[in-house]
Structures are given as structure tokens and as C-alpha cells.
Chain A
Amino acid sequence: MKHTLRQVFESGKFVSGFAIFVAILLVVTIYPLLVPEPPLRIIGQGTFFEPGIYVNVYDSISAPHFTLNLDEAAERRIAGRLADRDRGAILTWLVGVGIPESEIDIANTEQLLDQWFSNFDPTVRIPGMTNADRNYYIRLNSSIQGLLSTEDVIIAHANEETASLEAAGTIRPSAYVNVGQIPNVRILPLGTDNFGRDVLTELVKATAVSLKIGFVAGIIATTIGLILGLVSGYVGGFVDDVLMFITNMFIVIPSFVLLILISFSISQEQRGAVTIAVVIGFTSWVWTARAVRSQVISLRNRDHVNLSKLSGHSIAHIIFRDILPYIASYVVMALILQISSAILAEAGLSILGLGPKTTEVPTLGLMMNWAMIYQAHILGKWWAYLPVIIVIALIAFSMNLMNTGLDQVFNPALRE
């Protein structure tokens, strides 16, 4: 046993797969201790906030201000504020008033603005331009003027008695605050999702739930498959015929269709994560049963089994002591594959909207489902689905890597 374990941990493939898997497990256990926040709490008002560091504006006004005279500040401010859409609009205007397109470079902010100020005239009418477009250009012009201004911004608050504004302070363009001195800074490494929930916190919880679903489903499927395979392989005859008839029936019915029907027929209220795991487990044991059966058939006529029979052992003793240990490594590998395919099956079910109910816990599949319903992939909100895909891929990859590593250790024909 000790020797086998050492051999297993000398396999590079198994160790890399195991390292990835343990890293995922560690993150899943440690992260909730550091961020003890309900994973589905809605923090953002609005959908799909980009990943980044969110600094409280109110706090930064009252925080100590520092003056830093940096030359490129104004230029960078304009470059940052001038969105790609606005640059495209400027291009359209400039082309409309007759400047050749080859002379315009929308990435060069300084040149673009020069061309804009020398050519913009609100009274000019470009053919095909609607009134709304014209108003947009006027707004754009004034906002660019505002950006270029170097005047201070005045902070004012309303006087309660007179309802008039009273200046409370000014903010110069060269004023800076130290982020460390602002009490409210929230880092959203993966932004927020469509409901305004922190994607990272949600993702960690979802990974934990999906792993649990995988383990429960994998263990159920492997147990059923193992028992049916052992009994039908060892006992043989009529018992084998009956069990294989049932197994073949499950093979013929596509298990995903069965899964959809079962998920649909148990009501939304009943569909917790564990229920889904049980449903997946009860539909995916088929190939384990067949594989175990064929292994057992090849083992049951071996001499060591005959010797065990001659020593007067019962069928149960022979199955558990003379056959099960010989296929244990195979069963462990089957379990690993079952876990990884159960996680994928849950993701598949949830994308179709047949996963666990949505109010309590997230799962990887549900996150994909939400991202899909709210069109994150069309809107380009990659942080809502890409991390989920990467986590699913990493789990499946690490488990398959472990499986391949184990296979190389236990199957002498594959050893390098």
C-alpha cells in the first residue's frame, strides 16, 4: 500500500493533476474564511461592473488631498475619457466635412482634437445626419471643452434653510488622494455579474458546490456500478442476464434526456444541489457497471479465486477479498472520471435551466446560465463567464490528469 502510494506520487502527471486539484480545494476552503460574505449578496446597483478597484468618491473628497504636478495628467485625462465610440463619431464627422480618412488617426488624441476644433461647426449640415446626431455632436463638443478646461471644481452643499448652494471647497485638477487613506475601497477582481454580485465570491462558492455535486454524484454512480458489476460478473448466469438487461436499457436511453426528464418532473422547489447530484448519480452508473463486470469476469476464473473457493470461503468473502482489491485501482480511476463528468453534467443541466434552484446557492452551471440569459457573451462581459469556464476546465483537466497518471502506474503496459 505504502509502496503503491509512493509510486503514484512519483508519476508526474498524477502529481500535476493532484496539485491543481488541491489548489482548487484550498482556495475553496480558505477564501470563505477571508471573505465571510454571503456569496449571493447583491452589492452592485446595475449589471456587469468591470473588474477593478472601486474607490468611494464621497470618501475621496473628504480625504486629505495632495498636489502632484504631473505634465501628462491633462492629456491622459482626455485620452481616458474620450471613449472609442466618441472617437468613431469624430471620425465620421471629419470624413463628412471632407477630410481624407487616411489623414485621421483616432488613436492619436492630440491630432484628433486639433482636427476636431478646426473643423467642428454646429451649423454645418452633413448629408444624412439626423437631428439627434447633430445634438449628440454638440454635446460631445461641450464635454470635450469641459475636459480641456483647467478650472477648479467647486464642492457645494445645499443650505438647509435657504436651499441655496454654499461652496465648501474646491478640487484642483492636480489634486490627488492616497488610496490607502480612503476607508472604503472595494476590489472586485472579477467585477460583478448581471445581478450586481461579486463574481469572485460567487465563483468560489459555486466551485465548492459543484465539487460537492461531483463527489456525491460520482460516489453514487460508482457505488451502484460497482455493486451491479461485481454481482453480475461474479454470479453470472440468470442474475447476470437480468442485471445486464437493465444496464443495456439505461445505455439505450440517452442519459441526458433521462436527466432532463427527471429534473423537470421534480419541482423547482425540490431541486437543491444534492437532489441534482443524486439524479446525476442515478443516471451515470452504466459504464462503470459494464467495465467492472468485464474485469470481474476475467478475474473469476483465476487460480487465486479457485484457491479461495477451495479454502471454503463464501461468495461475499471472495468478492470482497479476492476480486475487489484487484480492481480497486480501476474503480478509483472510474470514480475520478465519474466526478469530473458529473460536474460537467451539472453544468450542462444548469445551462438548460434545469439545475438547482437559483435563490440559495450558485453552481458553476448556474453562473453560466445567468451569464447566458443576460447575454454576457454578446455584450463582451467576459468576466461573467470566462472565469467559470476556466474553473470547469481546470477541474476536469486536473481529474483527467490524475486519472492518466494512475493509469500509467497501475497499467504496466503504459509505463514509460
Chain B
Amino acid sequence: MLDERKPCLRGRGLTKVFGLGRSKTVAVDHVDFDFKEGEVISIVGESGSGKTTLAKMLLGLINPTEGEIYFQGKRRDISSNRKRKAYWKQIQAIFQDPFASYNIFNKIDSVLLDCINMIGGKRLPHEKKVEMMAEACGFVNLKYEELTNKYPFELSGGQQQRLMLARVFILKPKILVADEPTSMIDACSRATILDMLMQLRSEGGMTPIFITHDIGLAYYVSDTVYIMEKGRFVESGSADDVILKPQEPYTKRLISDVPKIYEEWDLSTV
């Protein structure tokens, strides 16, 4: 059934190398993947495994050293500014650190207005824009009246991350790359944010790609899981297959590293 879904992002031999000669670092090493539209994908790995580099390549923020990315079946072309802008209407991101994600000199309104401009709403009357912003804020349980004329850094981490979701709500991209969206936030806000993400997915037909180190979270939210080790995908498949019947020792280690209540934490593998 899964295979009947339309392809959304496909990678062939995707590689990113930083540096030259002896200081060469292979961050992502010939990675192949097929992301289907509508499924929830998780890329799991420990820190330094190349997840964020892969995410940035998917977003088109850095160019791959080698390999191709196919978007909706066609080779991705982001060679000009206009094509890049068109691509970014389809793919958006949530970053790990909400405190570093916003320009501290811009007010919250300008963050949201940028999104309205991006979807072609530049000429809309001011009231309509306010209405759209208020709707987006309402969706993520923020009050627009309280946010207007404030700076992003005046909000809490959870609120900032929700504001990021409000952006996504306005833009309604086809793909959302969420790079550790909850790792800087406490557990309560985490559930809310994941919940909203899932809601966006079911309402907007969005394909979320989670980049995470938390295999528990990956199991909880995703359909397909990719396990990443040292720049390579070592194991992939449906969440149940990968996490309940892990084949690779690396996957087993990641699972055993999750702390569990009522059980002694096994630190021998660390």
C-alpha cells in the first residue's frame, strides 16, 4: 500500500564532504532514500552522525558534494534564486534551537508577515493579513494580540517553537524538515508541539521528516524510520520492524540507551 503513494523526496548516493586532504570529514556518505508523500519519516542517529547535514541538504541550504536529490519524481533544480524560492514554498523547516532561530532585531509580526508575502499575500489588505496571523497563532495556542509588537526572544522556548509552527501553518509546505524540534523544550511542551505537528500533517497533507536522536520519539510518531550511523543509513524500514526487531547492533544500542522508568538504566553500552 505504501508504495502506491506518490514519491516526494528521493536521494541517490547523496554525499557531503567537509574540508580537504587530511582534515577531510565525510558527514554524509552515499545515502539513498525514498520518502513517500504523507508518511511520517524519522531519521535517527546519535550526535555527529550527519543528521543535520542531511537535513540541510534536503532543505537546499548546502549543496551536496555528490549525488542527486529528486523532488516529486524530478531532479531538484535550485540553481537560480527564483527556483530556490519556489522550492522553499514546498519545503520548510523547524530548527533545533528556538532561541537562535529568529533574528533578534525583527518583531514577531515581521516573521509572520514574511510568510504571508512568501505565499503571495503581499498585496492583501492589512486587516486580512492580521486575520491570517491571528488564525495561525490561534492554531498553535498563542494569542496574536499579546504577541504583536513583541520580539521573539521575549517568548519562552516552547512559545518560540510554536511560533515556528505558526509559520508552517501559514506556508502550508508539502514537506516539513523538523530538526530536533523538541530537544530544547521540556517534556510537557514537547507533547503539545508533536501533537500540533501531527495535526498539520493530517490537515494539510504535509510530509514531516523528523531528525532526532530520540528513538522513543521516532517510534511514537513515525511510519518509516532510518537509522543513521557515521553518515550512513545502517537500517531502515517501518517503525515496528526497525525498533521492535532491530537487526543492527547500533540500533540495539540506541534502543537500550533510552532511559526507562521502573528499570535499571543499562549504561554498559555507552
Contacts and interface: CB of A to CB of B under 8 A. Distances in A.
A309 B61 contact: yes
A304 B88 contact: no
Nearest to A322: B103
Q: Which of B81, B96, B114, B115 gathers the greatest number of chain A CB atoms within 10 Å?
A: B114
Interface residues of A, number: 16
B215 interface: no
Contacts of B124: none
B101 A313 contact: no
B106 to A, nearest CB: 7
Nearest to B89: A312
A314 B117 CA distance: 13
Contact of A304 (B85, B92, B100): B100
B88 A312 contact: yes
Interface in B169-217: none
Nearest to A308: B103
A303 B160 CA distance: 13
A321 B104 CA distance: 10
Contact of A303 (B85, B100, B106, B115): B100
B164 to A, nearest CB: 8
A322 B88 CA distance: 18
Contact of B81 (A310, A314, A322): A314
Contacts of B117: 312
B93 interface: yes
Nearest to A325: B105
A306 interface: yes
A314 B80 CA distance: 11
B115 A306 contact: no
A307 interface: yes
B114 A321 contact: no
B257 to A, nearest CB: 27
Q: Which of B100, B103, B106, B114 gathers the greatest number of chain A CB atoms within 10 Å?
A: B103
Nearest to B59: A310
B226 interface: no
Nearest to A309: B61
A306 B96 CA distance: 12
B219 interface: no
A307 B167 CA distance: 11
Interface string B81-97: 10001001100110111
A157 interface: no
A303 B101 contact: yes
A306 B95 contact: yes
A306 B105 CA distance: 15
Interface in B39-92: 56, 59, 61, 81, 85, 88-89, 92
B250 interface: no
A145 interface: no
B95 A321 contact: no
A310 B92 contact: yes
B88 A321 contact: no
Contact of B88 (A302, A309, A325, A326): A309
A300 B67 CA distance: 25
B118 A312 contact: yes
Contact of A307 (B96, B102, B105): B102
Nearest to A311: B114
Interface in B100-144: 100-106, 114-115, 117-118
Given A313-B114, A314-B81, A307 B61 contact: no
Contacts of A310: 59, 61, 88, 92-93
What band does the interface of chain B fall in when counting residues whose beta carbon is under 8 Å from A? 20 to 34
Given A311-B118, A312-B88, A313-B114, A303 B95 contact: yes
Interface string A301-340: 0111011111111100000011001100000000000000
B118 A307 contact: no
Contacts of A314: 81
B88 A307 contact: no
B172 to A, nearest CB: 14
B91 to A, nearest CB: 8
B96 to A, nearest CB: 8
Q: Which of B96, B105, B106, B117 gathers the greatest number of chain A CB atoms within 10 Å?
A: B105
A90 B269 CA distance: 101
A326 to B, nearest CB: 8
A307 B95 contact: yes
Contacts of A309: 61, 88
A325 B115 CA distance: 21
A302 B97 CA distance: 10
Contacts of A302: 100
A326 B102 CA distance: 12
B103 A321 contact: yes
A314 B105 CA distance: 18
A314 B88 CA distance: 13
A223 B101 CA distance: 29
A6 B101 CA distance: 27
In the complex, the 5 A-B pairs of residues with the closest C-beta atoms, listed nearest first = A311-B114, A303-B95, A312-B85, A325-B105, A303-B101
Given A303-B95, A307-B102, A310-B93, 20 more contacts: A302-B100, A303-B96, A303-B97, A304-B101, A306-B59, A306-B93, A308-B103, A309-B61, A310-B88, A310-B92, A311-B88, A311-B118, A312-B85, A312-B88, A321-B103, A321-B106, A322-B103, A325-B103, A325-B105, A326-B104
Interface of A: 302-304, 306-314, 321-322, 325-326
27 contacts: A302-B100, A303-B95, A303-B96, A303-B97, A303-B100, A303-B101, A304-B103, A304-B104, A306-B56, A306-B93, A307-B95, A307-B101, A307-B103, A308-B103, A309-B88, A310-B59, A310-B61, A312-B85, A312-B114, A312-B117, A312-B118, A314-B81, A321-B106, A322-B103, A325-B105, A326-B104, A326-B105
